[in-house]
Amino acid sequence: MNGKKFDDSAASQFSGIPFSVLDLSPINQNSTAAESFRNSLSLAQHAERLGYKRFWLAEHHNMLGIASAATSVVIGFVAAGTQKIRVGAGGIMLPNHAPLMIAEQFGTLESLYPNRIDLGLGRAPGSDRPTAHALRRALHSDGDDFPEMLEELRFFFRKPSENQKVRAVPGAGLDVPIWLLGSSGFSARLAGEMGLPFAFAGHFSPEYILPALDLYRKSFEPSDALDKPYAMLALNIVAAETDAEAWRLATTQFQSFLRMIRGMPGQMLPPVETMDGLWTAQEKALVDARLGGSIIGSGATVKENLARILNQTKADELMINAMIYDHASRLRSYEIVARVWQEKTSAHSI
């Protein structure tokens, strides 16, 4: 990453490739959003101590098991409780917002926590149709106007002209790094053409990882932000002391996706010993299609699979999502991954 906006003089303690964290502030069964926010801060502080580079939060709405709907507010809470880890959005769903408001929100965050704020942008609503209506989104919008909204947002971050009638205060003239997020080819191509860093949602769209990263790299044009492509890959990684324990912990996320498939989303459920009897063969196949790229297992298993994925994707950075019910087990999972990465002796050989 050589563009001036994305240089980071503080070298990651991971060898070669930075690792980062994706968090949704999950709400456990019979718990509260307040407890979820405390757990998010605890995880961010833990990740900072372990040497993770970024801690990103995602915008979702009308999801009983996700507390990070007011994403910029939670980013401010996490940034206030940490010292050096970059904190950002993974991402803000731009079609839900006026670009001026996002420029103001992230201009405020950058002013409070300089050189620590990232703005990742997506074009999906992060919601269903009734929620989109409640968010005052035009129901005919399918994200095709995302490039125009993105350009408007970037306009408000630029140094204003003398006679400019509308300015982002704060925001105008501030250096807030913008990333494009995607789970298909649209944002991959757009990120490449605009010379922006790209983050791919491999944690729920594993089948498109290689095509999207290839399209991004082939489309890339150097810009003021970057002089060469920079691709981050998001993955689900659930690590524990043994493979069996990791697979048990992973059943929490399996149950969450199963309930979404059935149209009955809810708070996160505790793990179970087996999913047998909880899903049909067809439902299992649908969950596998979304979560089939997950890495689940002991440190040794994680190490082996990370090597395979990096060799396949040549990702510049990895962002890890771990939907684990027990907070201590979640902290331990990120610790195991950090330990594995600290054992690396080169960027692409483990």
pLDDT tens string, the chain, 350 residues long: the values are: 444 344 333 333 345 799 999 999 999 999 999 999 999 999 999 999 999 999 999 999 989 999 999 999 999 999 999 999 999 999 999 999 999 999 999 999 999 999 999 999 998 765 667 777 777 655 455 567 899 999 999 999 999 998 999 999 999 999 999 999 999 899 999 999 999 999 999 999 999 999 999 999 999 999 999 999 999 999 999 999 999 999 999 999 999 999 999 999 999 999 999 999 999 999 999 999 999 899 999 999 999 999 999 999 999 999 999 999 999 999 999 999 999 988 753 333 33
Concatenated DSSP letters of 17-41:
S-EEEEE--BPBTT--HHHHHHHHH
Tokens 């994706």, residue? Answer: 22
Residue 317 falls inside a structural domain: yes
Phi, psi of 321 (to 5 degrees): -110, 135
Give the per-residue pLDDT at 16: 79
Residue 10 falls inside a structural domain: no
Residue 6 falls inside a structural domain: no
Residue 278 falls inside a structural domain: yes
The SS3 call for residue 83 is coil
Residue 293 falls inside a structural domain: yes
Give the per-residue pLDDT at 13: 38
Residue type, 335: E
DSSP E strands in 42-141: the ranges are: 54-57, 86-93, 117-122
Q: How many CA atoms lie within 13 A of 155 on its CB side?
A: 15
Its pTM surpasses 0.85: yes
Q: What is the CATH number of the domain that holds 108?
A: 3.20.20.30
Give the per-residue pLDDT at 144: 77
- Residue 293 in tokens: 């790229």
**What is the C-alpha separation between 350 and 343, in angstroms, rounded?**
8
**Structurally, how many domains does the chain consist of?**
1
Give the per-residue pLDDT at 238: 98
CA trace torsion 333, 338, 341, 342 (10° rounding)? -140
Look up the domain containing 224 and give its range.
18-342
Give the per-residue pLDDT at 15: 56
The SS3 call for residue 250 is helix
- Residue 101 in tokens: 């408001």
Residue type, 23: D
| Cβ atoms of 310 and 341 closer than 8 Å | no
Among candidate residues 164, 158, 88, the one with its CA nearest the CA of residue 122 = 88
